[in-house]
Structure 1
Amino acid sequence: MKNMSKELLDRINKLATPVKIMHVCGSHEHTIMENGIRSLLPDEVEIVAGPGCPVCVVPSREIDECLELVEKGVTITTFGDMLRVPGSNGSLADAKAEGGDVRIVYGINKAIEIAEKEDNDVVFMAAGFETTAPTTAAEILATPPENFSVLSCHRLIPPAIDFLINSGQTSLNALIQPGHVCTIIGTKPFEYFSTDFGIPQAVAGFNPLDILMSVYMILRQIHNETPKIDNEYARAVREEGNEIATEMIDEVFDVASREWRGFPKIPNSVLEIKDEFAEFNAREKYDIEVKDVKEAPKGCICGPILRGLARPEDCKLFRNECNPLHPIGACMVSKEGTCNIAHRYSRR
């Protein structure tokens, strides 16, 4: 592995040219930081983190929706990382501490088990990108109990990248695409970033060699003036993706437009449960309506960090008031969050 790394770095140095590569995956950021990959690359080759943490991009509004349900006496089930994500006036952890019925589960199937055992209404807060959406779809298609419903917070990666490119804010000119997402949707949804915008891309796996190889593939495309999407993660990703999974997503969800944390409303970027499954859609079932949403805690720069405009070290709260034991912003909450990863691996 050491020899392979050295060979790849030699190739990267030979092709080095000024380029800003954005990735959109918390696992990629973890690999990059844990292994010091940025420090190994030539200065002109920059890798920035985009909106790759599914917990971090859930906006305050959706936390507020859950808090409204807690106030109505509904049992909220969700992943552990979601508990401390800030809403407008508190988090699910705060609601739990005040006696609200908020429970951590490891998947939607466990939430359904709770609903089957209890008379109380149970809502599963379904966060995640295309990777976790098929599981939610499969459980809805299996007709869960009447006292169960889902608050869909699923989001789609390609529309967010499209927004970033067209906003012109990040000046990104290459992309490392997320291996997990591509195992589900394949490489085709990303092709137009190369054909329409001339952006070199590579789908990457999750070990250090995967990242280095994807950087080399991108530099090779730039050198040859052949922008396309290379599939470095061919051992898991196919061009067409997982057709069974995508068919389930299409059967259960409509594509809708909604804001992300740190972003305005992004067109066609979220998954909402179709009308024919409205009985399992918590927004419809409980007629949720939240007002006066506050997006970011004072001093937090999660928005610019999620858009690739800043690094955690640029934030005055980082490692001071904001740390993994006391997270102020969403990017510090999850272990896939850029700030949380930087706190663990970056130099002081």
Structure 2
Amino acid sequence: MRRNIFGWWAARVGLLIGPAGCAGNQSMFSPAGVDALATLNLFWVMLAGAVVIWFALNGLFLYVTRIHVGKMSRRLAEAVIIGGGILFPLVVLSALLIYSLPMMGEQRAPDDGLRVRVTAERWWWRVEYWPDGATAPIIAANELRLPVDQRTEIELTAGEVIHSFWIPALGGKTDMFPGRITRMTLAPSETGTFRGQCAEFCGLSHALMAIPAVIMEPAAFDGWLREQALPATSSGAGRAVFLREGCGACHAVRGTPAAGRVGPDLTHLGGRTALAAGILPMTADALRAWITNPEAIKPGAEMPAYDHLDESDLAALAAYLMGLK
């Protein structure tokens, strides 16, 4: 009996301390932004409220089944049911609601000038940066970069099906709908790279739709954004292979005849932290594997396989793409 009681308490203590092991660059328990910290605080407050209600209601159950096992007066029974089963949970839940509602306004506070639109495609991310006063966006893909200690407005939409944008270390998740724009703001408080993920099942490669978020010092971010607005500078034999094989029908590389909008913008591909929406390292070997058979890496990918390229053309193409920085 004593062993069973110990196991019962050990299991419940484990539930409380277990989240402490859920740290990392894709964890709400390692907040790197003002909004993520507010969400984490809300979680702990809600958990505390749930624990209070749990102990109170189980205490009442223990009282009527183990301590006061005899006949109960009508007045006491009504007091237990109304007070413990209705009034007490109502007071605790109302307090939690009053605590949490103001957070919704804070996480939609005005931005500091930068606006970013993220469009969820199948299964990758189109990212457009709109600096204050810009008349045209700076287009990138599959990676989000933001300045630290500034609040940025994120406009979210989707191409064909519902997705959900979630970078746990920076803030809560927001759904993305075709033909509709939803908004949120993020205020990172730490520099670094944090992993985001589509959090709404969206099809065959839903689990392979990540988005790295790179948080930079404001001066470094401004310099990076200026570079992103420039056309591509990479050249060599791979450029001719890229154009000859018709890659520009789907992909854009600014400064070249390639102006496709079907797939990700590749103008500065080589400068990104990952490939194929966060699931492959940005290396020449990974690029060759992706070009040769993308379906094997990401089931349902709309990019055709270029498995007919000989080794020299494939190496030249990968080198050209790696040079797009």
TM interval, short-chain normalised: under 0.3
Greater C-alpha Rg? 2
